[in-house]
Amino acid sequence: MNIGEAANASGVSAKMIRHYESVNLLPAAARAASGYRQYSSQDVHTLRFIRRARDTGFSIEQIRDLLSLWQNRERSSRQVRAVAQKHLAELQAKLDEIHAMQAVVREMLDCCQGDERPDCPILKKLASSEGEPDEEPAAGPPAGRKGLLREGKK
């Protein structure tokens, strides 16, 4: 089948199929006499595997590892589990980071009355540094390099 048919059958766009070939997740397709790429049902099966792994958030390197394990009938499920466990830990770390950001934004919103006054606790919080007073500069950020040097920053 050609790349369009493989894309339709796998749910992976033609552009992504070419990308997966370029990063060696999918072997380079055979070429017809016309020069068009030709894909087999096994290629489509591999593309579906890649798509499901990407949909689950696995990185290209992790998918490369999983593909290698999937194609190796001598592998143990322990190896596959280790890749999945590492990915789950990474997802949990990202989720923890998002929850921390969410708490900070929620705290900023709780402090803001959202009224007509120019005083804005959200902007004060964003402009402040840890351990520094929450004082909003008179006219925005410090001007130029001199302002940074005066604060001891380069």
Whole-number pLDDT of residue 83: 97
Give the SS3 label for residue 13: coil
- The DSSP letter of residue 51 is H
Q: What percent of the chain has pLDDT over 90?
A: 72
CB atoms within 10 A of CB 78: 7
CB 32 within 8 A of CB 72: no
Q: Is 38 helix (H, G, I), strand (E, B) or coil?
A: strand
Lowest-confidence region among 20-24, 45-49, 114-118, 143-147: 143-147
Task: Round to whole Å and give the CA distance between 138 and 147.
Answer: 14
Write down the pTM of the prediction. 0.72
Strand 30-31, strand 37-38: pairing:
antiparallel
Amino acid at 106: R
* Averaged pLDDT, 11-40: 94
36-41, long-range: CB within 8 Å, 24+ apart, which pairs?
A: 36/2, 36/3, 37/2, 37/3, 37/6, 38/1, 38/2, 39/1, 39/2, 39/3, 39/5, 39/6, 40/1
Q: Name the residue ranges covered by the structural domains of the chain.
A: 1-59
Q: Write down the residue that tokens 């591999």 correspond to.
A: 46
Q: What dotted CATH number matches 1-59?
A: 1.10.1660.10
Above 60 in pLDDT, residue 84?
A: yes
Confidence of residue 148 (pLDDT cuts 50, 70, 90): very low
